[in-house]
């Protein structure tokens, strides 16, 4: 898995991931762009509970990271940005 994807994808709001994946599947099935958008919107509506739960977990993780002790010279924290 690409390091940048691995590092940042978890931060993308779940509704965007659900919409994107549904749109890609719909386009791969031969639907037009507009039809795929409608399919994707429906998928987001149908998965609202999953989206809310996943987003809540991410926000809780971010809150925990924000209140954690500073890492000091921890090399895991100071590592270079893998997206470059």
Domain ranges, ordered by start, for the chain: 13-58
CA neighbours closer than 13 Å in the CB half-sphere of residue 74: 6
The more confidently predicted of residues 83 and 68 is: 68
Q: How would DSSP label each residue in 9-58?
A: GGGS-HHHHHHHHHHHHHHHTT--HHHHHHHHHHHHHHTHHHHHHHHHHH
CA distance 79 to 70: 15
Single pTM value for the model: 0.76
Contact 44, 18 (CB under 8 A): yes
Q: pLDDT grade, residue 20 (50/70/90)? A: very high
CA distance 67 to 65: 6
């Amino acid at each position: 898995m690409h390091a940048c994807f691995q590092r940042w994808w978890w931060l993308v709001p779940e509704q965007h991931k659900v919409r994107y994946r549904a749109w890609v599947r719909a386009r791969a099935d031969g639907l037009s762009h507009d039809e795929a958008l409608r399919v994707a919107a429906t998928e987001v509506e149908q998965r609202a509970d999953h989206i809310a739960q996943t987003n809540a977990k991410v926000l809780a993780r971010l809150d925990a990271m924000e209140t954690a002790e500073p890492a000091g010279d921890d090399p895991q924290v100071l590592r270079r940005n893998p997206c470059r």
